[in-house]
């Protein structure tokens, strides 16, 4: 490595504009030291991105830096937690300065936006891989979870679904769109729904972020909460630029495509009306797509009221 490990850490990761009061010791000692506010729970999550598994090794490093943090922020969002600190374990084939600078810019830009401080990490040589551990705060006992949904609750999603899968199809030259940049951006630089998650704390009975596709992630809520669901397929929000595609293709992207990082959540009947102000406050569209029902953790699909079977590629959890 042309740059020493410590030089690299100092130059790219120790320099940051965020300096939180609750961090007693940030990067530079054997451990970071932080203060957890009274009456809050610490929400902690880790996600790893591996080259050629989760992203193409030649992807724009700025986008990669953004995404490595965004996917972790999305996990906090799903619990209604507010971001505070992160650590970054990065394995690199070589210390290429131009690459590192762009990666750090993508990561730090998003960190700054959420007032999140990078408090430590690890730097090693090897095949490109990035692991972020994120910490956030949530008022004691108020987090959103997967296991508290009840039959009769309504199912909602934020934003539009299938955009990232369409973006991947564009990158793979399997799909041509008139304005492909939006979809590539949705794939490479997802927007974690942190403010939506926090606003849903007093409203939603369960919540999960959609990383593996709506169908798969809904199954997690159904299994944890021990109930079933009916999805009204025509209600699923699909971006208008994808609406010329066949119904099957749209559903493939929206139900089985991953990487959207939207929120899927359930809301009791009596709290539905509160969602309007959440959508207004956050500027994020919230759409009702179905309802939970008593019974086994199975998923029923309906299209304009009629039961619908879909053969979705890459989704092996379809038959309950």
Rounded to an integer, what distance in angstroms lies between the CA atom of residue 23 and that of residue 115? 12
Rounded to an integer, what distance in angstroms lies between the CA atom of residue 78 and that of residue 13? 27
Considering beta carbons, is residue 97 or 277 the nearer one to ligand ADP?
97
Considering beta carbons, is residue 86 or 236 the nearer one to ligand ADP?
86
Q: From Mg ion, ligand ADP, none, which one binds at residue 27 (CB under 5 to 8 Å depending on kind)? A: ligand ADP
Q: How far is CA 40 from CA 18, 45, 74, 75, 132, in A?
A: 22, 16, 19, 17, 22
Distance of closest approach, residue 121 Cβ to ligand ADP, in angstroms: 3
Rounded to an integer, what distance in angstroms lies between the CA atom of residue 212 and that of residue 35? 33
Distance of closest approach, residue 112 Cβ to Mg ion, in angstroms: 27
Q: Is residue 29 close enough to count as binding ligand ADP by CB under 6 A? A: yes
Among residues 75, 40, 68, the alpha carbon closest in space to that of 54 is found at 68
The three-state secondary structure class of 16 is coil
What is the per-residue binding string for ligand ADP in 217-256, x denoting contact by CB under 6 A? ----------------------------------------
Question: Are 160 and 236 within 8 A, CB to CB?
Answer: no
Q: What is the DSSP code (8-state) at residue 297?
A: S
Question: Are 49 and 113 within 8 A, CB to CB?
Answer: no
What is the per-residue binding string for Mg ion in 21-60, x denoting contact by CB under 5 A? ---------x------------------------------
Considering beta carbons, is residue 30 or 270 the nearer one to Mg ion?
30
Q: What are 55's two structure tokens?
A: 């992203």
Q: What is the DSSP code (8-state) at residue 27?
A: B
What is the per-residue binding string for ligand ADP in 30-59, x denoting contact by CB under 6 A? x-----------------------------
The backbone torsions φ and ψ at residue 234, rounded to the nearest 5 degrees and listed phi first, read -70, -15
Distance of closest approach, residue 28 Cβ to Mg ion, in angstroms: 11
Distance of closest approach, residue 8 Cβ to ligand ADP, in angstroms: 8
Q: Is residue 79 close enough to count as binding ligand ADP by CB under 6 A? A: no
Distance of closest approach, residue 302 Cβ to ligand ADP, in angstroms: 48
Question: Are 302 and 233 within 8 A, CB to CB?
Answer: yes
Q: From Mg ion, ligand ADP, none, which one binds at residue 58 (CB under 5 to 8 Å depending on kind)? A: none
Distance of closest approach, residue 99 Cβ to ligand ADP, in angstroms: 13
Considering beta carbons, is residue 31 or 313 the nearer one to Mg ion?
31
Considering beta carbons, is residue 121 or 167 the nearer one to ligand ADP?
121
Residue 25 pairs in a beta bridge with: 33
Pairing relation of β-strands 82-92 and 117-125?
A: parallel
What is the per-residue binding string for ligand ADP in 92-131, x denoting contact by CB under 6 A? --------------------------x-xxxx--------
Among residues 193, 90, 89, 77, the alpha carbon closest in space to that of 136 is found at 77
Residues of the shown chain interacting with ligand ADP in the complex, contacts defined by CB under 6 A: 9, 13, 27-30, 88, 90, 118, 120-123
């Amino acid at each position: 490595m042309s740059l020493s490990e410590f030089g690299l850490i100092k130059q790219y990761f120790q320099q940051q504009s965020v300096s939180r009061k609750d961090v007693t010791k940030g990067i530079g000692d054997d451990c970071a030291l932080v203060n957890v506010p009274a009456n809050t729970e610490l929400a902690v999550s880790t996600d790893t991105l591996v080259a050629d598994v989760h992203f193409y090794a030649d992807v724009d490093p700025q986008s990669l830096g953004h995404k490595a943090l965004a996917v972790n922020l999305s996990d906090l969002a799903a619990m209604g937690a507010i971001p505070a600190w992160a650590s970054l374990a990065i394995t690199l084939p070589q210390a290429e300065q131009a690459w590192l600078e762009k990666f750090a810019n993508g990561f730090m830009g998003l960190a700054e936006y959420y007032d999140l401080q990078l408090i430590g990490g690890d730097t090693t040589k090897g095949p490109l891989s990035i692991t972020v551990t994120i910490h956030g705060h949530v008022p004691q006992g108020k987090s959103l979870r997967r296991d508290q949904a009840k039959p009769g609750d309504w199912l909602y999603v934020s934003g539009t679904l299938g955009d990232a899968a369409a973006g991947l199809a564009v990158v793979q030259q399997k799909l041509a769109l008139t304005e492909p940049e939006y979809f590539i951006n949705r794939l490479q630089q997802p927007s974690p729904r942190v403010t939506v998650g926090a606003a849903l704390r007093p409203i939603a009975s369960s919540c999960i972020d959609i990383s593996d596709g709506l169908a798969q992630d809904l199954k997690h809520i159904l299994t944890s909460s021990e109930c079933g669901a009916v999805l009204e397929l025509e209600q699923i929000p699909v971006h208008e630029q994808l609406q010329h595609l066949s119904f099957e293709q749209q559903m493939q992207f929206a139900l089985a495509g991953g990487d959207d990082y939207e929120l899927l959540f359930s809301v009791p009947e009596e709290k539905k009306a509160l969602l309007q102000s959440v959508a207004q406050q956050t500027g994020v569209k919230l759409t009702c797509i179905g309802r939970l029902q008593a019974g086994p953790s199975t998923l029923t699909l309906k299209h304009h009221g009629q039961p619908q079977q879909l053969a979705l590629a890459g989704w092996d959890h379809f038959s309950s």
